[in-house]
Amino acid sequence: MNAPPLLTDPARAWAPWNPDSKARWDLARVGHLHRRAGFAPSWAILQRDLGDGPAASVDRLIAGEPTAGDGQSALDFDAMLDAMTGQLAEGATLARLQGIWLYRMVFTPHPLRERMTLFWHNHFATSHSKVKNSLLMQRQNDLLRSHALGDFKTMLSAVGKDPAMLIWLDSTENRKAQPNENYAREVMELFTLGRGRYTEKDVREAARAFTGWFVVRDRFCEIPGQHDPSPKQVLGHTGPLRGDDIPSILLEQPACAEFLCEKLIRQFVTEVDPISADLSASLAQPFRESGYDIRVPLRTILRSNLFHDEALRRRRVKCPVEFTIGTIRALEILKPTVQADALARACGQMGQNLFAPPSVAGWDGGATWANSTTMLARANFALSLLSDQDAALGKRLNANELAAKHGATTPRDAGNFLIELLVQDAFDRKLRERLSTKVESKEIAATVLTSPEYQLA
């Protein structure tokens, strides 16, 4: 698979894409935008954004919709979910925590914010398996959501004092007499700079700066007597550095914005092609100049020539959450929706247990999502949605009725509708013709949802 030429030309790659007679703003481009920057959209959203154009569609994704999927205003929906998590998180099982978040994703008026919350959950990977406190895990999730589209500096500073993170990386053992280096190492290697861009001395000195930060009664607490006040030297900065000084030192390193932008390119553009240093650096410069406003690189990516290059469609495997939530939202399985605990189990069977990433590096993603076990789980999930027998996931979707609701009343029209809704341009003419011979919309939907093309974003 050859890398698209735009990947080697940063100036052209990040220039805004504009439709013309040769490259139209069509249904395939609308679907691509939502697959990458949200979840698979409903037919109504596809049609609306097709009419509104790329700029308005990107702006709406960044700002969020005015109404949630359950009909509430966005403000009322967020208030309801925040209240629900506040009441249910303490003492909740892992499955309950997962279900609450997945329910939010199904109905959210702000799909990009939830996708970015998931992105940061993987970036600042923290697991319930060690924290063993559902309330702290939920608070971290709320923290990531509140900063998901804000400025990275504020989020990084807050994460460093987050009780779940402090427990996860043993910062509660970080005392003056015996500094623990875990958080200092990961904040450089995994959260800001990447390997090879700091020294072991930088790690040791930063660990001393973080001494004295603890968790007391589920809250961050600084104990002055356990802080090492002596001079330290971190990445060229010398003085009696404290934990609060470290984020600014890290963010002023050019490598930080470049490291983050490469991860964003992997997330939103391609996970299979090489990303040149020049491509990341050209995206990183305005990011740094903005004060690390996360919306700056996101808006550039989503409006860019590179993002809209047809050769870069379906260069990512959908993670299980993308796959399941996108399917439910696209097929309008909302009233009633699926059982949240069953949805959480399905994602786990596909390899993604929310609040329980496999390591400090998060999920590997990419091809690791696609093996014989997980692909069978994906197929089983799709078939369960279409089932008249499955009480937890099925009995909620009638493919014929959905097609008819949107004007597709004949079997052939219904088949074309499902293809345009779910995969747009992914199927060639021969496959479309073969599917059009099927009479049952349920059979067509099953074929589409279990196809290799549908697994890709």
Q: Which two tokens stand for residue 400?
A: 């014929």
pTM of the shown model: 0.96
My answer on whether 364 and 337 are in the same domain is: yes
Residues 164 and 139: their CA atoms lie apart, in Å, by 8
Distances (CA, A) of 104 to 44, 66, 97, 222, 310: 20, 15, 11, 33, 31
My answer on whether 174 and 309 are in the same domain is: yes
My answer on whether 340 and 389 are in the same domain is: yes
Last residue of a domain, one of 255, 289, 313: 313
Which of 326, 327, 411, 323 shows the shortest CA–CA distance to 369? 323
Residues 6 or more apart in contact with residue 256 via CB below 8 angstroms = 192, 193, 250, 288
My answer on whether 292 and 338 are in the same domain is: no
Last residue of a domain, one of 269, 290, 313: 313
Residues 6 or more apart in contact with residue 223 via CB below 8 angstroms = 212, 214
Q: Is 97 helix (H, G, I), strand (E, B) or coil?
A: helix
Name the pLDDT band for 1 (thresholds 50, 70, 90).
Answer: low
Residues 293 and 274: their CA atoms lie apart, in Å, by 25
Q: Are 279 and 7 in contact (CB under 8 A)?
A: yes
> Helix axis angle, 254-268 relative to 295-303, nearest 10°?
40
In a domain, residue 57? The reply is no
Residues 323 and 332: their CA atoms lie apart, in Å, by 14
The total of other beta-carbon atoms located within 10 Å of residue 240's CB is 12
Name the pLDDT band for 342 (thresholds 50, 70, 90).
Answer: very high
In a domain, residue 284? The reply is yes
The total of other beta-carbon atoms located within 10 Å of residue 359's CB is 10
Q: Are 19 and 25 in contact (CB under 8 A)?
A: yes
Distances (CA, A) of 357 to 159, 325, 342, 439: 17, 18, 19, 42
Average pLDDT, the chain: 96
For the cut 70, the answer to whether the pLDDT of residue 249 exceeds it is: yes
Q: 302 phi and psi, to 5 degrees?
A: -70, -20
My answer on whether 342 and 384 are in the same domain is: yes
Residues 45 and 148: their CA atoms lie apart, in Å, by 23
In a domain, residue 328? The reply is yes
**What confidence tens digit (pLDDT) does each residue in 214-238 have?**
999 999 999 999 999 999 999 999 9
My answer on whether 383 and 434 are in the same domain is: yes
Residues 369 and 323: their CA atoms lie apart, in Å, by 11
Which of 291, 274, 395, 340 shows the shortest CA–CA distance to 4? 274
Residues 419 and 449: their CA atoms lie apart, in Å, by 10
My answer on whether 372 and 256 are in the same domain is: no
Per DSSP, helices labelled H in 171-243 are 182-189, 200-209
The sign of the CA dihedral 285, 288, 289, 295 is positive
Residues 151 and 276: their CA atoms lie apart, in Å, by 25
Q: What is the CA radius of gyration of the chain?
A: 23
In a domain, residue 325? The reply is yes
My answer on whether 279 and 198 are in the same domain is: yes
Q: 169-173, 324-328, 380-384: which range is least confident on average?
A: 169-173
My answer on whether 269 and 339 are in the same domain is: no
Residues 34 and 424: their CA atoms lie apart, in Å, by 12
How far from chain centre, in Å, is Cα 259? 17
In a domain, residue 17? The reply is no
Q: 330 phi and psi, to 5 degrees?
A: -65, -40
Residues constituting the chain: 457
My answer on whether 287 and 333 are in the same domain is: no
For the cut 80, the answer to whether the pLDDT of residue 436 exceeds it is: no
In the chain, how many domains are there?
2
My answer on whether 277 and 400 are in the same domain is: no
Name the pLDDT band for 438 (thresholds 50, 70, 90).
Answer: confident
My answer on whether 298 and 341 are in the same domain is: no
For the cut 90, the answer to whether the pLDDT of residue 423 exceeds it is: yes
In a domain, residue 435? The reply is yes
Name the pLDDT band for 437 (thresholds 50, 70, 90).
Answer: confident
Q: Are 69 and 106 in contact (CB under 8 A)?
A: yes
Last residue of a domain, one of 313, 343, 361: 313
Q: What mean pLDDT comes out for the span 437-452? A: 91
State which residues form the domain around 358: 320-455
Q: Are 418 and 399 in contact (CB under 8 A)?
A: yes
If one compares 434 and 61, the residue with the highest pLDDT of the two is: 61
Q: Is 172 helix (H, G, I), strand (E, B) or coil?
A: helix
In a domain, residue 263? The reply is yes
**SS3 letters for 10-27?**
HHHHHCECCCCCCCCCCH
213 has which bridge partners? 222
Residues 114 and 86: their CA atoms lie apart, in Å, by 18
The sign of the CA dihedral 236, 242, 248, 250 is positive
Q: Are 423 and 447 in contact (CB under 8 A)?
A: no
pLDDT > 70 fraction of the chain, expressed in percent and rounded = 100
